[in-house]
Chains A and B, each alone.
Chain A
Amino acid sequence: MDKAKIEELLKVDLLKELKLEGLDEPAKQGVVDDAVYIIVRGAWIKIFEALSSEKQAEFSKILDGSPEDADAILGFLKKEVPNYEDIIKEQIAEYKSVLLAK
């Protein structure tokens, strides 16, 4: 999926496009919850596969040694998977593309 398409999809309000704005709030939240779950899971697969074996080990050390160090973890992601935000965006866009298919 090209970047322009991704950006376009990111701007789409999924609930609105699916005509689910009339749902009650809990139901809306359920839709979003499920979406976020699937997107996060998919993003993590992508993020991790982007790392070499060595980097996975390095990342593991950070996670193991400094699990509460948000800066270290985020720093690693930014350094070693600089496009991690793009990965997440792509996952969001892909998810939306499936649900918005017509």
Chain B
Amino acid sequence: MDLLNDYLEKEPINPDNKSAFSRDNLLIAADVFQELDWTAEYKTPEEKTKHEDNIIKSVRISHSEAEINAAVRVSLIRNRIMTEINERVRTGERPEDIQNERILLEKESYISSLKELKVEYLRTRLEGLKGRVGADDFEQQAQNAEISAIKIANAEMVKWQDIMIDARRALNPEGWDHIINFFKHTAEKASKNKLLGGYFGMNRNLRTALTAGIIGGGIAAFAAPLAVAAGFGGAGFVAYRICRSLIGGNFGYFLSKKVFQPLAKKSFESKKNIAAEFAEGAGVSESKDIFKMIASGEVIYYEHTLSRIAEQNIKIAGQYAEKMRRITTKYKIHNVAGTVLSGVIGGMAGMSIADMVLGAKGNIAHTVAGLVSDKPKVMTGHNFVTSKADSVLPDKVTITPPQVESTGDGAVLAENAAKLRQNTDVIVTKPRAEILSSEVLERAIVGEGKGVTHVLQRQLEADPKGWGYTGDATDAKALRAWSGAESYRIAVKNGYINPSTGAEVWVLDLGPKGAAGNPAYVLEHGPGGVGVVKEYINGKPAGGVGTIDAYEKLHKPTSAVVHENISESPLPEGGAKISGAENVAAQSSVADTVATADSPAAQSAAESAVSSTAEKVADISVVQSRAEAVQIFEKAFNGLKDISHDFSHLSLAEQYNALYGSSSMKEAAAAVDYFKKNNLFDGVSGGESKTMLGFFKQFEELTKVFEQNEQKFMDTIKNVTHLDEANMNNFLEMRLKRVWEYLGNGQNESVSKLVRSVNLTPAEIANNLTVGQVLKARFVDGAFVSLPSSVRL
């Protein structure tokens, strides 16, 4: 029985020549071939038509009749099933057996057509390579053709699974309700999430369309025009994001979090598989949100909507290429393969699915499963090496005698340090290796854009009580203020800063650009608890306190910077012994820590600035008149209003930009500033002023959402890294290039684990993004990407 006859009778799809294919069929084929870009925006209908014409032309040229036939066939079967499910639900029928049978038969046809698609697609590609037999790149080209064919088949199989998932729920809602209830518990914990707020604020039709997206692939693109129709001009990408999550997340979450991960737990616990650890820790947040949506019963089917979906799905499923990439890559970060599969089928001689994909003998399978080694490995292909804390300990302890400078700042600094050292004999007689660990060194190494006081501050914050801090260590602001002042004080005592002149020791960037090879300034407890600084390079003692060593230089600021918290008497000013050219890589210095944005005072000011939403947007002043202010403001206000429905959907970076970074918001700040300066808010009698105050309220609400998301992000990172807050902040500020180099030393396992968990890409490293930027995108946006080449878990 060929169920396709129904379709074929309605719409012939086997013309004798390609020119006879209908326009729709060719677009359908283009979709299956992943050659449509449904995200493209067109200014006019004509432009859209022209684009489609080009696609159609390309399909005709690039694909055979057999390919196109097969592509259209799989699409039609898929949509046939989807429509039928819709019909069954609409009429209230639940003929499970019949439908199951129907589905099975359809699937048989579907698989058959899918095979045909794959074969025909590959054959066409290979025929095109006939003339290249023997060429150097022939094998590569042939492999590329096979990979392309596989990708198309993969995407179609996932689309089919999407339909089946929803079919099962439609056929057996009671059973699924249990599952839904199960997820309620989890979902409630995630009450503040990035999906739900905007979701429930959407028009019902849009919500219906989005939830119905579970049914079929490609609905994401469909949701975009519907969003526009519903008045959500900017909701298209939100719709896509939700649909992406729905389609990719439901079963995947259930599988990975509740079944496979627990099953794999024993495995990775015993094997210390840190990749698996991250899969469990980092890969669930988005799915929780999705299941709350499902659990709330928002999966509602309307005939009209679903009919439209059925009609249009075959035309608008173009997102699947990207979606597939995202799904599979998200899967990778979940690393379900690594965590679970050997557990699930552990009864089968411990083989994993990946083993069986490779005929039960491939080493790749073990790599995928991440279970090949009992010892955690890292990314050797990207300078990630197995952590060896011992290797950074010095082999031999030698103490460099102090080289006291005779005059100038160098002399002052050396003298200051020498005084300190006279009282700390215990330090110089104690093998320095005994007090070092990789963790200590990691905190003490001066990174790019940082100075001595910065690393001192980092060390102080790592053990505040140990260094005499009596305040609340969980109060980040207070802790930072204390560590800033204390680090400065220690720097002065150890001869790195002359507080009266502002002269200070700068650290040069040694070795490759970045922290690698740079000196470490290890803070140790001297007699009476006084902080004593010891210098190391590559884990070995180096230089001398108070000495201007080869990796340092003395910097004299043009104007003195005097720290108000320092009680020491001013030291006599002198000339610097070491002058020399500026080292570009070492532009950061202790002065940065003291007097610039890193300083406690500056931080406090910044924090005050962000505490008030009104203040937040009122930091520039360019508006000259009330009329201008109102005009600018209304524009910004409307922009914010437009996105408010979808705000919680945005990634952290997007939220930040919407609130503080967009040009319209910056202009609005000027407008608000004008109102404030001219006291136009006083009394608030005018409509414009009221509107502006309303804007503040809305702004504040959105700010809260942003802050909650930010906190969620920070909590996540904290949980994953186990870094304390100070170190975590430092880490997030680090540029990826630096992290890359840093990890090349294998000095910080927790950081290494985190970086591995987010699978840094070469592009991200090349772009020199901060770790925070990448993580924000990953953890909040959920857009995990694939492992870079050469990465081995």
Q: C-beta contact mask, B108-138 vs A, less than 8 Å → 1, else 0?
A: 0001001110110000000000000000000
Could you say which of A14, A23, A44, A78 contacts B357, with CB atoms under 8 Å apart? Answer: A14
With the chains together, A18 CA to B29 CA distance in Å? 24
Picked from B139, B255, B263, B788, the residue with its CB within 8 Å of the CB of A70 is B263
Which of B344-352, B448-456, B612-620 forms contacts with chain A? Answer: B344-352
Query: What CA separation (Å) do A3 and B327 show in the bound complex?
Result: 31
How many angstroms between the C-alpha atoms of A60 and B111 in the bound complex?
A: 31
Contact across chains for A99 and B341 when beta carbons are under 8 A apart: no
Query: Are B119 and A26 in touch, CB under 8 angstroms?
Result: no
The answer, among A25, A68, A78, for a CB contact under 8 Å with B265, is A68
The answer to whether A85 touches B348, judged by C-beta atoms less than 8 angstroms apart, is: yes
Nearest Cβ in chain B — how far from A31, in angstroms? Answer: 7
Cβ A13 vs Cβ B358 within 8 A: yes
B131-167 interface with A by 8 A CB criterion? 139, 142-143, 146-147, 150-151, 153-154, 157-158, 161, 164-165
Report the minimal beta-carbon distance from B499 to chain A, rounded to whole angstroms. 54
Q: Which residues of A contact B175 (CB under 8 A)?
A: 51-53, 56-57
Interchain CB contact under 8 A, A32 and B343: no
Q: Which A residue's beta carbon lies closest to that of B257?
A: A67
Output the least CB separation between B659 and chain A (Å): 36
Q: Is B611 an interface residue (CB 8 A)?
A: no
B786 CB-CB contact with A under 8 Å: yes
Nearest CB to that of A13 among chain B residues? B359
Q: Kindly identify, within residues 299 to 358 of chain B, every residue whose CB is under 8 Å from any CB belonging to chain A.
A: 324, 327-328, 331-332, 336-337, 340-341, 343-348, 352-354, 356-358
C-alpha gap A41/B324 in the complex (Å): 13
If over half of A's interface residues share one DSSP class (helix, strand or loop), that class is named, otherwise mixed; here it is: helix
* In contact, A37 and B143 (Cβ under 8 angstroms): no
Q: Do B263 and A73 have beta carbons less than 8 Å apart? A: yes
CB neighbours of A74 from chain B (8 A): 263, 343-344, 346
Q: Tell me the complex Cα distance, A95–B358, Å.
A: 12
Closest to B252 in A: A41
Q: At the interface, yes or no: B179 with Cβ under 8 Å from chain A?
A: yes
Contact partners of A18 in chain B: CB under 8 A: 146, 150
B251 touches A45 (CB 8 A): yes
Is A4 located at the chain interface by the 8 A CB criterion? Answer: no
Cα distance A73–B265 in the bound complex, in angstroms? 12
Q: Contact: B114 with A44, CB < 8 Å?
A: no
Residue B362, interface by CB 8 Å: yes
A33–B785 CA distance with the chains assembled, in angstroms? 13
**A16 CA / B263 CA spacing, docked (Å):** 30
Could you say which residues of chain A place their CB within 8 Å of the CB of B50? Answer: none
Interface SS, B side: helix
- Shortest Cβ gap from B238 to chain A (Å): 25
Residues of B within 8 A of A41 (CB): 158, 161, 251-252, 255
Question: Are A92 and B182 within 8 A (Cβ)?
Answer: no
Residues of chain B within 8 A of A48, CB atoms compared: 168, 179, 251
Query: Which among A37, A45, A99 has the greatest number of chain B C-beta atoms within 10 A?
Result: A37
Which residues 30-51 of A have a CB within 8 angstroms of B? 30-42, 44-45, 48-49, 51
Give the Cβ gap from A61 to chain B, nearest Cβ, in Å. Answer: 8
Assess whether A45 is in contact with B164, with CB atoms less than 8 Å apart: yes
The 8 A CB mask of B701-735 against A (1 = contact, 0 = none) is: 00000000000000000000000000000000000
**Which A residues touch B789, using CB under 8 A?**
24, 26
Does chain A have a CB within 8 A of B670?
A: no
B residues near A (Cβ < 8 Å) are 111, 114-116, 118-119, 139, 142-143, 146-147, 150-151, 153-154, 157-158, 161, 164-165, 168, 172, 174-176, 178-179, 181-182, 185, 251-252, 254-255, 257-260, 262-266, 324, 327-328, 331-332, 336-337, 340-341, 343-348, 352-354, 356-362, 364-365, 367-368, 786-791
**Cβ contacts A to B, 5 pairs, < 8 Å:** A28-B364, A36-B341, A37-B336, A45-B164, A60-B182
Q: Beyond A36-B368, A52-B175, A97-B115: 14 further Cβ-contacts under 8 Å? A: A19-B143, A22-B143, A25-B367, A28-B364, A41-B255, A53-B172, A56-B175, A57-B178, A67-B258, A70-B262, A94-B111, A98-B114, A99-B118, A101-B116
6 nearest interchain CB pairs? A13-B359, A101-B115, A53-B175, A60-B182, A57-B178, A26-B789
